Structure 1
């Protein structure tokens, strides 16, 4: 039914049952009720239906404008809140970089320091808070070249490495934690105890035990040059690194994987690399799809 027709009949108290239901269904019904309660406070001597209708409609239109303005304002405010939230979330979000099997990558940090990730490794840091909180979370292995005058912490599951403008390598794998300082000074905190490393010094924990190592004579880790080198390390660590560099699975038969191995393998030729890690121990190998089986007769 026509809206103004219903309102006119309502003002004249002349609505039938069907019209009353239609009147109650009007979107202005609540506003009209508020107005009628206000009008009950007084009684005009001469009641002009046409004038009262126009007055009522004018009040409703004014109320609708205010409501419409308020709704528009609330929409704009909601959009601003959402935009601010998105901006705050994206600008404070951590930066995460990871590598897959047989992959390496180099990342520049906000202070011009750089990190090179070895295969199957990841780092997480926050660019926005970098000026006052230089923390990097590392899983796997990475080589760091720190800008002079800058310091930051490399946090791993096994310990924290604090650096003071230097070059160093951190390797944190399952039951394996190693830090080698190539330049400058490194502080390694493990089990609440800090050890300071100078160039050539190493800190190595295997299966919870501190392992003594010879002075490092190379200027950088060999894996940066696509070669993995081992000095008296358990054979299982060699095989685990081989799997990461070539994206293969290795199974062993009649082999003591705790025996120590010294040697190296290249990252660019699978067969040559296999010979490098099997011939010194008189181990044979066979390949089945993506699995390599090492056997000692």
Structure 2
């Protein structure tokens, strides 16, 4: 026991070499003492140890908070995505009927036959953007930008009345009130009241002089302004899927007026009385007009 105590003091330079005289392996002990003196005893600081422990604890808390925030964000994104998905409304009109839509801001949309309209009901007041395929007439309440996207181009307005046709490679926009901005393949055009523009197979056809306060198909009528009778008959053929032949009708006959687009008999009777013409029914799809009075 005493030897061990003296040995420890000797290694700590508290005893002289003479103290260990007679101990076997003295040469080995001296080498151990020589090499151990080259090592520096680590310094110990309670404050430093406490700081390191505290940092580890804070790091763990920070990771926990980060995971909590990330989880909350994922939940919010998930709920928002589901809300967006289920709030999207698809409206489709049948081949033989129109469809009326009232948007959350009280803007009104009338879909023509065989048309599709899509919008987001919940987020509408933040983003008034809709998608159209087919033909529709819009009466837009004033407010944020109102955007109609189609496969061919985009229409933007603030508050106005207009019509959009997007079907069979034809993109046509008609402005009935205010102004509308039309974007097509990087080109922008602004239409004023009474103007319209047509894009067909990437060609642009601009015209003006739109008559009426709204499209005739909305009120199920067709308005004509000083057009030839042949043009009127062509429109009837298209509207009612019929064939009309005109016999002995002078070329200078012009027509200004309104014809119904859902009552063929009434339309034919209006023309008959206006121009004193008789018509003969060949079959349910073919009619022949003949003048009664020559000019």
Q: In which range does the TM-score fall when normalised by the shorter chain?
A: 0.5 to 0.7
Instruction: Provide the alpha-carbon RMSD of the alignment.
Output: 4.1
CA distance in 2, matches of 1:167, 1:210: 22
Q: How does 1:106-145 map to 2 (within 5 A)?
A: 106-145=100-139
Q: How does 1:206-225 map to 2 (within 5 A)?
A: 206-225=200-219
CA distance in 1, matches of 2:286, 2:212: 33
The answer (yes or no) to whether the contact 2:173–2:198 under 8 Å persists in 1 is yes
**What is the number of residues matched between the two proteins?**
197
SS state at 1:242 partner: helix
1:220 Cα shift?
1.6
Q: Could you tell me which residue of structure 2 aligns to residue 226 of structure 1?
A: 220
CA deviation digits over 1:184-242, x for unaligned, max 9? 2200001111101111121112343222323224222211221245789x99x958962
The answer (yes or no) to whether the contact 1:111–1:147 under 8 Å persists in 2 is yes
The one of 87, 95, 99 equivalent to 1:101 is 95
Q: How does 1:262-281 map to 2 (within 5 A)?
A: 266-271=260-265
1:93 Cα shift?
3.7
Measured at CA, do residues 136 and 294 of structure 1 come closer, stay the same or move farther in structure 2, by a change above 3 Å? farther
The answer (yes or no) to whether the contact 2:84–2:120 under 8 Å persists in 1 is no
Measured at CA, do residues 117 and 173 of structure 1 come closer, stay the same or move farther in structure 2, by a change above 3 Å? same
Measured at CA, do residues 199 and 120 of structure 1 come closer, stay the same or move farther in structure 2, by a change above 3 Å? same
1:192 corresponds to 2:186: yes
CA radius of gyration, larger in: 2
Q: Could you tell me which residue of structure 2 aligns to residue 203 of structure 1?
A: 197
Q: Could you tell me which residue of structure 2 aligns to residue 22 of structure 1?
A: none
Give the gaps of 5 or more residues in structure 1: 1-80, 244-248, 253-261, 278-283
The answer (yes or no) to whether the contact 1:163–1:187 under 8 Å persists in 2 is yes
1:131 Cα shift?
2.8
CA distance in 2, matches of 1:182, 1:90: 32
CA deviation digits over 1:5-53, x for unaligned, max 9? xxxxxxxxxxxxxxxxxxxxxxxxxxxxxxxxxxxxxxxxxxxxxxxxx
1:162 corresponds to 2:156: yes
Q: Could you tell me which residue of structure 1 aligns to residue 172 of structure 2?
A: 178
The one of 235, 238, 242 equivalent to 2:239 is 242
CA distance in 1, matches of 2:283, 2:235: 18
The answer (yes or no) to whether the contact 1:167–1:181 under 8 Å persists in 2 is yes
CA distance in 1, matches of 2:133, 2:261: 21
The answer (yes or no) to whether the contact 2:84–2:122 under 8 Å persists in 1 is no
CA distance in 1, matches of 2:93, 2:206: 30
> 220-229 vs 154-163, which deviates more?
220-229
The answer (yes or no) to whether the contact 2:180–2:192 under 8 Å persists in 1 is yes
The answer (yes or no) to whether the contact 2:212–2:223 under 8 Å persists in 1 is no
- Identify the structure with bigger relative contact order (alpha carbons < 8 Å, sequence gap 6+): 1
